[in-house]
Amino acid sequence: MNGSAETAAVPSTGWASFGARLQAAVAAHGPLCAGIDPHPGLLAAWGLPETAAGLETFSMRCVEAFGGRVALVKPQSAFFERYGSAGIAVLERTLAGLRDAGTLSLLDAKRGDIGSTMEGYAQAYLSDDSPVRADALTTSPYLGYEALRPVLDVAWATGRGVFVLTLTSNPEGRTVQHAVLDGRSVAACVVDGVRADNARPAPAPAGLSGAPGAPGGPEDEHTATLSQTPGWGSIGMVVGATVGDAIDRLGLDLAGANAPLLAPGLGAQGATGQDVRRTFGPAVTRVLAASSRDVLSAGPAVSSLQARAVEVAERLRDTLRP
């Protein structure tokens, strides 16, 4: 797929909601979220040192390979943080490179806290003036869904997104996510919160670069129509591709939440495209399959990474879309 022409058709400015931009990116590039997971084993497999310099080489190759060709790219924050300030500097450059390529980024940091601490995370990762800002952030709701409110509100105000851990594949998650209180599972309560937040009308913040009416704001017919057309909400959910019948068993109305669904577990973790269709049922058209090892194993050559990402995205489009 030719990424450059199609990337130009996807608004990357803040005034279009994250959900609208993500929906357009998936339509252009297929339902793949490609991970940037520079863990020690992959650095070694690519012949790179386990240093900040090796981290930067790895990450910049991923940016070059995925930029303009993948709907969503997900750097894993932990693998940058382990190198201290030098690693965070590489993360800043990685996110900036994806912005320059017009490609949406999802920072996988799984933040979850309360009060001013959560406000700090919101400003760090989703505010317009942060050097480590991403288009979206993964969060953990297990101090209570409403504890995420500072992040949800900053995302709403800036046209960014949030992905909330909802039903994960790890066995330990069941003790919390499957637990029932007053007849509702914890996972179902998270879905309720996401549904309510996605019912909020997306704002077009005054003064944002690229906002309608702002200096230099786009006025072409495609982007104007996209900003006004109801589509995917900007609050997504993380639901494992290998959760089996848990979605039905816990009574989760994923389709009704109007949420993009990030589904880890395809490929190296054992789930197939057909498994995803069975697991997600009517919500499968909102699924983005998260793939890290399957795509990254094609490295270190940029051309090989690029070819694998496009191949996986097209295969997913054929399998997951009607």
CATH code, domain with 202: 3.20.20.70
Residue 225 lies in a domain: no
Kindly report the average pLDDT of the chain as a whole number.
87
* Lowest mean pLDDT, pick from 2-16, 159-173, 215-229: 215-229
C-alpha 63/C-alpha 59 separation (Å) is 6
Instruction: State the pTM of this model.
Output: 0.88
Average confidence (pLDDT) over 238-260:
94
pLDDT at 12 over 90: no
What band does 228 get if pLDDT is binned at 50, 70 and 90? very low
Average confidence (pLDDT) over 141-159:
97
Cβ–Cβ < 8 Å for 61, 305? yes
Average confidence (pLDDT) over 110-129:
97
What pLDDT shows up at residue 269? Answer: 62
The token duo for 209 is 């670069």
Average confidence (pLDDT) over 82-93:
98
Residue 221 lies in a domain: no
What pLDDT shows up at residue 94? Answer: 98
Average confidence (pLDDT) over 55-64:
98
pLDDT at 10 over 60: no
Residue 14 vs residues 100, 156, 224: alpha-carbon distances, Å:
14, 10, 13
Residue 219 lies in a domain: no
How would you classify the pairing of strands 161-167 and 104-111? unpaired
Cβ–Cβ < 8 Å for 288, 262? yes
What band does 1 get if pLDDT is binned at 50, 70 and 90? very low
C-alpha 303/C-alpha 168 separation (Å) is 33
Residue 296 lies in a domain: yes
Residue 139 lies in a domain: yes
Residue 214 lies in a domain: no
The more confident residue out of 3 and 138 is 138
- pLDDT (tens digit per residue) in 264-283: 987 666 677 778 888 899 99
Q: How many domains does the chain have?
A: 1
pLDDT at 40 over 90: yes
Catalytic residues: 110
What pLDDT shows up at residue 23? Answer: 97
What pLDDT shows up at residue 285? Answer: 93
- pLDDT (tens digit per residue) in 279-314: 899 999 999 999 888 899 999 999 999 999 999 999
Average confidence (pLDDT) over 116-133:
97
C-alpha 15/C-alpha 208 separation (Å) is 7
Rg (CA), the chain: 19
Residue 224 lies in a domain: no
Q: Tokens 């500097």 correspond to what residue?
A: 89
Q: Domain limits at 28?
A: 3-209+232-320
What band does 214 get if pLDDT is binned at 50, 70 and 90? very low
Residue 227 lies in a domain: no
